A and B are shown apart, each in its own frame.
Chain A
Amino acid sequence: MTSRARLFPSLRVLCAALALLFAAALVGTFPGRAEAQDISGALGQFTSNKYDDTEAALGALALSGSPAAAGIVSALADGRLVFGGLPPRVFIEGEGGALLDPLTMQPVADAPPVKPVRVNNRVRRAIEAANGALSLVSPDAGKRREAALAVGRSRDEAALPALDAALAKESDPQVKSAMNLARASILIGKEGISPAERIAAVELVGAEGNQDALAILRGVPDSAAPEVKQAAAQAIEGIERNLAMWGMAQNVWYGLSLGSVLLLAAIGLAITFGVMGVINMAHGEMVMLGAYTTFVVQEVIRTSYPGLFDASLLIAIPLAFLFTGLIGVIIERTVIRFLYGRALETLLATWGISLILQQAIRTIFGPTNREVGAPSWMSGSFEIGHLSITSGRLWIIVFALLVFFALLATLRLTRIGLEMRAVTQNRRMAASMGIRTNWVDAMTFGLGSGIAGMAGVALSQIDNVSPNLGQSYIIDSFLVVVFGGVGNLWGTLVGAMTLGVANKLLEPYAGAVLGKIALLVIVILFIQKRPRGLFALKGRSIEA
């Protein structure tokens, strides 16, 4: 018997709304209100083993509020509710066939021969209904709230009496408001209530302000009074405006998230390209190397120190910085330093380097994507209002800003930062002041590369770690730096965030690809207008 119920779980889900209807019907129709706490009469009815009586007993149980009711109903559903003896009594069959008293759940000493209470489809529906009504008065507040929400979604008038009964007893404010909402949802569509009542219901639902409320408000019957309809229309408009605002806010959030990714990718370039003037096409590969560093760190942790997995990213960040920074210094010392002042030729040389690095990684790690896991603190999400925010993205934004301000501080406050600025502004003068310009060049390029490597650690969390990882960021990174204004870190920050948000705001209208194309065109046009970017460095040189 029970196995059939389990065979059709979807049927049960489908019946959920129906069930509540029956629950309400039972609660409303059966004259059981008086003996609310006393369920012995209901128990007696089970022993007749007639479907009608069983159903009636279920109804009585549903509104009894007795703590034992839920157990009895579920025992009936599982075929464990049995009866026997003289006079017939009801038992619950426990584990190993022991008979338990349904009220106390204690084993009974003199167990008579028993047989299960029969169940048919009608009774099964009644069981569902009783379950629904019972959960409205369940001792668990969460369950009560869920049941109220379910009633609200079903919007069934018949559930009203049960709801009213439950409301009268409810003390938890959260559950109460859910029940009130459910009640209002039902009232909106109910025939024969006063306009004032209906308007109150509309307002209550309107205050909820989500998609469900919208659907409920659209269900106001045509027969309703005009002022009710107007109130509903107003509420709908309000909700739609509200939802549109939240949707916009969500898109802005996505945009900031994308912007932080762009910022991470571009910030190293803002050093190598923006400050040093090297068109560093190998920048993307530095990001890629950082991502592979993360992969290697995680591999080592997985095989040797599995307990450290949650710290893997924290370990990878400094390692990636050092490793890619070192590679950057090597590149600067062997190639770039011969090309200063020939910006366009650095483009060719660094493009060559990027091909070599890509192929090297492909040879070592293979051309396929590598698995980089997310530590537990990077996964999960939470909601603010109607905004859903994933922790991973949040951390990336935080990380991007941290890196940005750390870099800013390095350039502004440290000795090496001062020297870097001196060398980029006037190399000869800096040299004559005793600054080792060669060393500063190497350090600057190393710093830019190292930051790219740290970006790679973050990007390994949201992108495929493959040899082509860097390629997908290089064009965007250049656009961000050029858009923001070469040589200006704040410009990079504003540029990245602007492009990120603009991209995400365009997406709903144009789709992902067209939005991206539109953005590229916009940036191209923008550069016509301001050939030196958003925050151009002011100078007197005509050629600069």
Chain B
Amino acid sequence: MSITRQPALLGTSGIIFLAVLFAASVLVPVLNLAVAPDSAVHVPTYVVSLLGKYLTYALLALSVDLIWGYVGILSLGQGAFFALGGYAMGMYLMRQIGTRGVYGDPVLPDFMVFLNWKELPWFWYGFDWFPFAALMVLLAPGILALVFGWFAFRSRVTGVYLSIITQAMTFALLLAFFRNDMGFGGNNGLTDFKDILGFNIQADGTRLTLFVLSALALGLGYVLCRFLVRSHFGKVLVAIRDAETRVRFTGYRAENYKLVAFVVSAMLAGIAGALYVPQVGIINPSEFSPANSIEIIVWVAVGGRGTLVGAALGAVLVNYAKTYFTSGMLAPYWLFMLGGLFVAVTLFLPKGIVGTYYDWREKRRRHDDIPAAPLAAPGPAE
């Protein structure tokens, strides 16, 4: 990205990315519905859900890339925002079960009946109404990020320190959600969903719709992030990433810029979580585990930090590999591979797949027409 030439909103890789997304959201339903089940190109419904899950992960990775790649905030607690969005959706889905639960209580979810609770806790109010739940998907992570970020950025907690307290945050939430008294289903979380907006959550049609919605959310999320980082706002973010103190000296309120980016990123993660839960059918406290959040970082690192497309690509690739290896004979070796991947990427591919490709393209272009682009943008600093 050069300063002099404003890049297009999408750019080549962005157009390719959206095209692939669009193609997938057309092709997958067609191959699922219109092609005979015994055909080689038929896409079974479970694969649709799996792909949908990857897409929500891609959106989550995108949200991490926005703050890590462009603002230099390495959040080890992004999984918390994802899980909060997921819990908001899960609470809506729990309320939709109605009398079909094991205990048949019209209001209380099964686990509350089991715990001998007499009435719905106040924070469950309103979750039977979809628009409210949808709002909460944005607000729950958003407000947490706002409060947390407001404190952290104002007192200039940066770098490693920030990473560690974000990790402490998600760990505290993990412990809290494990408690039965919290009223979020404790250890087991929320599950046994029946339907969403009146549609059976198991039905092929619902699954396809959710898949397409995930693709849509990813596409829109990408465009939003792209728009943000291209804007003046985004330029300041990159400047903060590379030299926060200098930005401050130039008169910008760096903490406010960081806060906005952090909150937007948390909301994107929340949306990802909300789309993830109905496709996977469960949300439990393990989503808060610090290890999960670190894994998200790896997706981004593999794909290429600060490239947006790379984050999404990394998420899909790593998770595809995970599904592939953990289901086969190689299952015991998956952690070796994942661990090895972490090490290899940081050592040999510090810019990730897409970042390395950009470098290569840049080099070739410069080779073709000297003197082409001005100074190449410096790589993301810590």
Contact = CB atoms under 8 A, between A and B. Distances in A.
19 contacts: A279-B160, A342-B350, A344-B74, A344-B160, A345-B346, A349-B347, A351-B294, A352-B339, A353-B343, A355-B339, A356-B336, A359-B332, A475-B290, A516-B172, A520-B168, A520-B169, A527-B155, A528-B155, A531-B161
B343 A349 contact: yes
Interface of A: 279, 281, 335, 338-339, 342-349, 351-356, 358-360, 362-363, 471, 475, 478-479, 482, 486, 513-514, 516-517, 520-521, 523-525, 527-529, 531-532, 542-543
Interface residues of B, number: 47
B152 interface: yes
A355 B335 contact: yes
Nearest to A471: B291
A345 B74 CA distance: 10
B167 interface: yes
Contacts of A517: 172, 175-176
B233 to A, nearest CB: 23
B342 A348 contact: yes
B168 A475 contact: yes
B301 interface: yes
B55 interface: no
Given A346-B346, A349-B347, 7 more contacts: A335-B343, A345-B350, A348-B298, A352-B340, A359-B336, A479-B168, A528-B154
A355 B167 contact: no
Contacts of A521: 172
Nearest to A518: B172
Nearest to A273: B160
A251 to B, nearest CB: 20
A521 B157 CA distance: 15
Given A352-B342, A482-B161, A342 B155 contact: no
A513 B151 contact: no
Interface in B312-363: 332-333, 335-336, 338-343, 345-347, 350
B382 interface: yes
Interface of B: 74, 148, 151-152, 154-161, 163-165, 167-169, 171-172, 175-176, 178-179, 244-245, 290-291, 294, 297-298, 301, 332-333, 335-336, 338-343, 345-347, 350, 382
B336 A475 contact: no
B335 A347 contact: no
A482 B162 CA distance: 10
Given A356-B340, A520-B172, A528-B151, A513 B290 contact: no
A514 B177 CA distance: 11
Contacts of A513: 175-176, 178-179
Contact of A359 (B157, B165, B335): B335
Contacts of B338: 352, 355
Contacts of B333: 359
Contacts of B168: 475, 479, 520, 523-524
B165 A527 contact: yes
Nearest to A482: B164
Contact of B245 (A335, A358, A475, A543): A543
A352 B343 contact: yes
Nearest to A467: B335
Nearest to A531: B157
Q: Which 6 A-B pairs give the minimum distances between C-beta atoms?
A: A352-B342, A355-B339, A356-B339, A359-B335, A520-B172, A352-B339
Contacts of A525: 151
A343 B339 contact: no
A238 to B, nearest CB: 37
A33 to B, nearest CB: 64
Nearest to B301: A348
A531 B155 contact: yes
Nearest to A543: B245
Contacts of A528: 151-152, 154-155, 157
A471 B345 CA distance: 23
Contacts of A281: 294
A342 B245 CA distance: 19
